[in-house]
C-alpha cells in the first residue's frame, strides 16, 4: 500500500469512487453516503466502538485486528501555566455545552461522541496516544518527507 497525500477528504473520495486509488481512510460522514449508494464498500471503522452513523460497519478490531484503535479526538487546550481554577471553569462550560440537546444532535450527525474525560484524564489520554503513535512510527520506520 502506498500513501498518497491529499489536501482534503473530498478529492480522495472522488478518486476512490472513480477507481483512481484502491482505498482511503476517511471520516465516516464523508464516505458513508457513497457506501449506502453502493459506490464504496466500508471495510471497517477505526474506533473501538461501532459508529452511530454506520452501525452496520464492523470495527477493525471486530474484523480480526484485536485492540486496533485509530480514533481521534478534538481537545480544548490552554497554555501550560493556566491557573487550575480557570481550567476547571473552561472544563465545566465545555461539559455543559456538550450536553446541550442541539450540540449533542450536531455531534451525532457528525459522528462525534464526547469522551467525558476531565482535564487530567484528557492530558493522560493525549500522553498515551503520543506514546502509542510514536512507537508505531518507530517500528514502521516512518520518516517525514
Contacts for 23 with CB less than 8 Å, ≥ 6 apart: 1, 16, 43
Q: What domains are defined for the chain?
A: 1-70 (3.40.190.10), 73-145 (no CATH)
Give the model confidence (pLDDT) of 27-67 as tens digits: 888 898 999 999 999 999 999 999 988 999 999 999 999 98
Q: What residues contact 58, with CB distance under 8 A and at least 6 apart?
A: 44, 45, 50
pLDDT for position 110: 87
Residues near 54 by beta carbon (within 8 Å), at least 6 away in sequence: 28, 32, 35, 42, 45, 111
Distance CA 32, CA 56 (A): 11
- Residue 24 reports pLDDT greater than 90: yes
pTM for the predicted model, two decimal places: 0.76
Amino acid at each position: 500500500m502506498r500513501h498518497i497525500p491529499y489536501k482534503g477528504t473530498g478529492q480522495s473520495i472522488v478518486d476512490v469512487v472513480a477507481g483512481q486509488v484502491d482505498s482511503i481512510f476517511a471520516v465516516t460522514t464523508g464516505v458513508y453516503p457513497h457506501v449506502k449508494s453502493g459506490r464504496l464498500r466500508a471495510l471497517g471503522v477505526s474506533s473501538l466502538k461501532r459508529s452511530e452513523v454506520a452501525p452496520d460497519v464492523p470495527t477493525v478490531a471486530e474484523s480480526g485486528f484485536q485492540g486496533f484503535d485509530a480514533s481521534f479526538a478534538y481537545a480544548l487546550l490552554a497554555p501550560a501555566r493556566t491557573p487550575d481554577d480557570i481550567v476547571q471553569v473552561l472544563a465545566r462550560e465545555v461539559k455543559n455545552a456538550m450536553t446541550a440537546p442541539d450540540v449533542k444532535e450536531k455531534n451525532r450527525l457528525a459522528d462525534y461522541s464526547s469522551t467525558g474525560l476531565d482535564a487530567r484524564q484528557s492530558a493522560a489520554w493525549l500522553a498515551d496516544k503520543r506514546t502509542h503513535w510514536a512507537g508505531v512510527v518507530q517500528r514502521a520506520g516512518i520518516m517525514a518527507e
